[in-house]
């Protein structure tokens, strides 16, 4: 599996864009981009989500929780597991919908299995 990086593009099921920022993870650069740790993703906001209920906007605005399975068991930065790009579909927004990776780019590091 590959680590999630700051320049990856994550969206919610309604095409809202997760504002990825490597904060704790920036201690570890891969291909010039900081990795994304659990708290980096938990603190990320989501913008542009089109979700509405009967015409009333109810956009996804943040990540609700990150299941442990979405984090690397072998790589951590400042005590936090690195988010695995292959597992973002089990991470939910505050509307209870999963995240999707919009681009899959070449990465020079493989983690776990
Ligand atoms: Zn959404």
Mean of pLDDT values over 61-71: 97
3-state SS class at 28: coil
Separation of CA 108 and ligand 1 centre (Å): 30
pTM: 0.93
Distance 40 CA to ligand 1 centre (A): 19
79, 98, 99: which is closest to 20 by C-alpha? Answer: 99
Closest CA to 33 of 112, 113, 109: 109
CA of 78 to the centre of ligand 1 (A): 30
Question: Which DSSP letter does residue 94 get?
Answer: T
CA atoms within 13 A of residue 52's CA, in its CB half-sphere: 6
Ligand 1: distance of its center to the CA of 63 in Å? 10
Q: Return the domain boundaries, the chain.
A: 9-99
The pLDDT value recorded for residue 31 is: 87
Residue 55, pLDDT score: 96
pLDDT beyond 80 at 113:
no
Which token pair is 58?
A: 């109810």
| Spatial CA neighbour of 11 closest among 98, 90, 99 | 99
Q: pLDDT by residue (tens digit) across 39-58? A: 999 999 999 999 999 999 99
Residue 12 Cα to ligand 1 middle (Å): 5
Burial class (CB in 10 A: 0-12, 13-18, 19+), 3: buried
CA distance 69 to 87: 8
Please give the distance, rounded to the nearest whole angstrom, from the Cα atom of residue 76 to the centre of ligand 1.
28
**How far is the centre of ligand 1, averaged over its atoms, from the C-alpha of 34 (Å)?**
25
Question: Distance from the CA of 48 to the center of ligand 1, in angstroms?
Answer: 8
């Amino acid at each position: 599996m590959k680590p999630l990086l700051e320049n990856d593009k994550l969206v919610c099921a309604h095409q809202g864009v997760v504002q990825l920022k490597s904060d704790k993870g920036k201690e570890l650069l891969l291909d010039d981009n900081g990795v994304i740790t659990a708290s980096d993703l938990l603190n990320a906001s989501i913008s542009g989500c089109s979700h509405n209920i009967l015409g009333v906007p109810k956009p996804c605005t943040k990540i609700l929780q990150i299941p442990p399975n979405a984090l690397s068991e072998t790589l951590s930065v400042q005590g936090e597991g690195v988010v695995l790009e292959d597992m973002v579909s089990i991470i939910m927004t505050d509307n209870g919908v999963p995240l999707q990776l919009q681009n899959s780019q070449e990465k020079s590091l493989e983690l776990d299995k």
